[in-house]
């Protein structure tokens, strides 16, 4: 069985939004027999798609499984480059490891590694990232931007803006960004972004953007220690959220904003980032390895460095810290 045709057929039924498409029409469109169409439909049903077959009318999609499998995701994508190559595993240690490996092997820019579960999900500052099976989106995206390595942190901020736009569009809730890259809803974290770099004397070989998004967890799904600070889209919107819809929106906005960055530079994205930021203009405490600074976060520099003014009037550049507000 030609799996690509199965994927495309799934995409055709998804686009028909529940309207029946006749077997003959599908056969003509895909250049296959009606029996072959029927076999592809059976294959989709085995994958968890619910398809109604109505005499004289044809096939219509009733529901599709909300897995992160490329077969269900790729037909939904509205991107040119990001997500055209996808690598999926039900369970892995970390999608960052997979993406790094693929990047070293020369995978094209835009490759996405996804998993239903990570057994060793990693966060910033060598922390563990809780990645329960089927509850969230755990994915790593390989980009190959033609910029100097010093500009890499800007991509984390670009990704944060893309995340906010995607969450707003799909759920209607309004998240905020806490510097540098936490996405919060009503003060609790729903998304973490981890950007890692492969570079050499010639510059950036690959930029790996790891995104962890809590989608359908209940409070009790989180570890007791993180319960006071973590949230999910379901907890905030009050309804189950389609992970497939979320991935589609995230990849769409990530491509839009990385294109904008390449065409226009960081300036416009900096303005967008600041407009979504809960940090800028607020009194914050920055926990650095050797000291803790308290002051007003005045803004970020072109390189994404936080500018913190302490009570003595001094302006501090914060490159990496835990921020409390």
Binding site for ligand BTN (CB under 6 A): 94-96, 118, 121-124, 127, 129, 131, 138-140, 182, 192-194, 210-212
Q: Which is nearer to ligand BTN, 188 or 309 (CB)?
A: 188
Q: How far apart are CA 77 and CA 66, in angstroms?
A: 15
CB of 194 to ligand BTN, least distance (A): 4
CB of 39 to ligand BTN, least distance (A): 36
Q: Which is nearer to ligand BTN, 21 or 166 (CB)?
A: 166
Closest-CB residue for ligand BTN?
A: 192
Q: Which is nearer to ligand BTN, 61 or 183 (CB)?
A: 183
122 labelled ligand-binding? yes
Give the relative orientation of helices 267-276 and 152-171 as an angle to the nearest 10 degrees.
50
CB of 121 to ligand BTN, least distance (A): 4
285 labelled ligand-binding? no
CB of 192 to ligand BTN, least distance (A): 2
Strand partners, 185: 188
CB of 283 to ligand BTN, least distance (A): 22
Q: Which is nearer to ligand BTN, 72 or 212 (CB)?
A: 212
Helices (H), the chain: 3-15, 23-30, 34-46, 70-73, 95-104, 152-171, 233-237, 243-264, 267-276
Q: Which is nearer to ligand BTN, 59 or 129 (CB)?
A: 129
CB of 208 to ligand BTN, least distance (A): 9
124 labelled ligand-binding? yes
Q: What is the DSSP letter of 74?
A: G
Enter the tokens of residue 82. Answer: 């990001």
Least Cα distance to 216 among 194, 228, 231, 198 occurs for 231
In whole angstroms, how far apart are CA 297 and each of 124, 181, 313?
A: 21, 15, 12
Cα-based angle 117, 122, 123 (whole degrees, multiple of 5): 120
Residues in contact with 207: Cβ distance below 8 Å, sequence separation at least 6, in sequence order: 142, 143, 144, 145, 152, 155, 195, 196, 197, 198
212 labelled ligand-binding? no
Q: Which is nearer to ligand BTN, 64 or 94 (CB)?
A: 94
Do residues 57 and 45 touch, judged by C-beta distance below 8 A? no
Q: How far apart are CA 112 and CA 300, in angstroms?
A: 29
In whole angstroms, how far apart are CA 167 and each of 124, 182, 252?
A: 21, 13, 12
11 labelled ligand-binding? no
CB of 51 to ligand BTN, least distance (A): 32
In DSSP notation, 132-153 reads -TTTEEEEEEEE--SS-GGGHH
- The binding site for biotin consists of 118, 122-124, 189
- The binding site consists of 118, 122-124, 189
């Amino acid at each position: 069985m030609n799996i690509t045709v199965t994927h495309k057929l799934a995409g055709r039924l998804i686009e028909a939004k529940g309207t029946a498409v006749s077997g003959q029409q599908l056969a003509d469109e895909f250049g296959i027999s009606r029996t072959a169409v029927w076999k592809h439909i059976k294959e989709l049903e085995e994958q968890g798609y619910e398809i109604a077959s109505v005499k004289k009318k044809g096939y219509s999609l009733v529901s599709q499984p909300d897995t992160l499998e490329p077969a269900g995701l790729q037909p939904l994508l509205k991107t040119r480059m990001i997500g055209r190559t996808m690598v999926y595993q039900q369970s892995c240690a970390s999608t960052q490891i997979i993406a790094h490996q693929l990047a070293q092997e020369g995978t094209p820019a835009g490759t996405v590694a996804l998993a239903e579960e990570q057994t060793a999900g990693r966060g910033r500052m060598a922390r563990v990232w809780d990645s329960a099976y089927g509850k969230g989106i755990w994915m790593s995206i390989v980009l190959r931007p033609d910029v100097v390595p010093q500009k890499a942190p800007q991509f984390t901020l670009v990704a944060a803006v893309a995340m906010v736009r995607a969450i707003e569009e799909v759920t209607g809730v309004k998240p905020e960004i806490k510097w540098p890259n936490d996405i919060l809803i009503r003060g609790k974290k729903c998304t973490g972004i981890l950007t890692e770099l492969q570079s050499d004397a010639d510059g950036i070989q690959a930029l790996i953007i790891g995104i962890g998004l809590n989608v359908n967890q209940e409070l009790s799904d989180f570890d007791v220690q993180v319960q006071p600070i973590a949230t999910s889209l379901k907890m905030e919107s009050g309804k189950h959220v389609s992970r497939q819809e979320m991935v589609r929106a995230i990849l769409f906005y990530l491509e839009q904003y990385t294109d904008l960055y390449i065409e226009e530079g960081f300036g416009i994205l900096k303005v967008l980032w600041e407009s979504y930021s809960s940090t800028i203009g607020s009194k914050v405490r920055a926990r650095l390895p050797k000291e803790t600074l308290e002051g007003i976060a005045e803004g970020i520099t072109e390189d994404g460095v936080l500018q913190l003014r302490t009570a003595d009037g001094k302006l501090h550049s914060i490159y990496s810290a835990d921020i409390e507000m």
